[in-house]
Amino acid sequence: MIDEMYIFHSMKINITKVLTIIIISSIIGLLYNYINPTGLLLVSKNKELKWATDSILTFQKISGDTLKVKPLTIAELTNKIDDRKLLKGNDIHKEKNEPAKKDSNENAGFGEPLAINLEQAYKLYQMDVLFIDAREIEEVNLGRIKHSLSLPYREFDKYKTILSKIPKTQTIVCYCGPDCELSKSLANKLFTLGYHSIYVYTGGWDQWKNAGYPIE
């Protein structure tokens, strides 16, 4: 007991020094952020996704049919992309890196990625919309939504060549596991790359599997 008292007493931390270090560090941080071109806004914007309404889903179906460049269906995509090879992580860099077709048409997008629930995701699935799995390969190998493509967000640069085969007008649903942020991050990334019809299925793999919808 005496020893313990001695230890706490012997710490004798100078609170003024602690506060000085914290304040100086904070000032340097704020100044650096001010001059840094990639600096952050002091107050972050609300990063929560907006929810898609069912009317938007219907609109997408109609606009998909009327687009000049018809979005590829899952079946067509799987013919073009050997995603099995991708899943195993083999030879992805050996694939001929075709540049993405420049599409001068305006995308039928909605300004930002939108969140969708299970029901809406299944509706889009029935419309043959492309599903992209943002989880890691090891997790995808244990199961995924049937015909979905795998594009692990954490290894985006390694696997991004797959995007060269997906037109910018393609409507895409991103998903990951439950309570994960990978799908949202991937959706934001794809959005900045010009894919403007992006949904994030927030329920993720577990909810889809539990609902008994098609998996593989």
Partner 1 sequence: MYIPADGTNGKMQVTLLNKMKKLISNKYFLLLVRIILSLVFIFAGIEKITNPAGFSDSIGYYKLFPSLLVNLSAIIIPWIELITGILLLLGISVKENAAIITTLLIIFTLAIIISLIRGLNIDCGCFGTAFGEKIGLLKVTENILLIICGVMLAVFDPDYLSI
Residue 2 within binding range of partner 1, rule CB under 8 A = no
Q: Judged by CB under 8 A, which of 98, 138, 157, 179 binds partner 1?
A: 179
Residue 17 within binding range of partner 1, rule CB under 8 A = yes
Alpha helices, DSSP H, located in the chain? 2-11, 15-35, 54-66, 74-80, 83-88, 118-126, 137-141, 156-159, 182-192, 204-210
Residue 44 within binding range of partner 1, rule CB under 8 A = yes
Residue 137 within binding range of partner 1, rule CB under 8 A = no
Residue 21 within binding range of partner 1, rule CB under 8 A = yes
Residue 25 within binding range of partner 1, rule CB under 8 A = yes
Q: Are 149 and 75 in contact (CB under 8 A)?
A: no
Q: What are phi and psi of 198, to 5 degrees?
A: -120, 130
- Return the closest-CA partner of residue 133 out of 163, 172, 176, 166: 176
Q: Judged by CB under 8 A, which of 24, 69, 100, 211 binds partner 1?
A: 24
For partner 1, the binding residues in 148-167 under the rule CB under 8 A are: 154
b or e along 106-123 (b: 16 or more beta carbons within 10 Å of the residue's beta carbon)? ebbbbeebbbbebebbbb
Q: Judged by CB under 8 A, which of 180, 207, 209, 213 binds partner 1?
A: 180
Q: Judged by CB under 8 A, which of 2, 35, 37, 47 binds partner 1?
A: 47
Closest separation in Å from C-beta 133 to partner 1: 14
Contact stretch for partner 1 (CB under 8 A) within 59-67, 89-97, 121-129, 177-185: 177-185
Q: Is 138 exposed, middle or buried (0-12, 13-18, 19+ CB in 10 A)?
A: exposed
- Return the closest-CA partner of residue 178 out of 210, 148, 146: 210
Q: Which is nearer to partner 1, 150 or 169 (CB)?
A: 150
Residue 181 within binding range of partner 1, rule CB under 8 A = yes
Closest separation in Å from C-beta 10 to partner 1: 7
By DSSP bridging, strand 149-150 and strand 172-175 are unpaired
Helix axes 54-66, 118-126, angle to 10 degrees: 20
Residue 193 within binding range of partner 1, rule CB under 8 A = no
Closest separation in Å from C-beta 13 to partner 1: 5
Q: Is 208 exposed, middle or buried (0-12, 13-18, 19+ CB in 10 A)?
A: buried
Residues that bind partner 1 in the complex, under the rule CB under 8 A: 7, 10-14, 17-18, 21-22, 24-26, 28-30, 32-33, 36, 38-47, 154, 177-181, 185
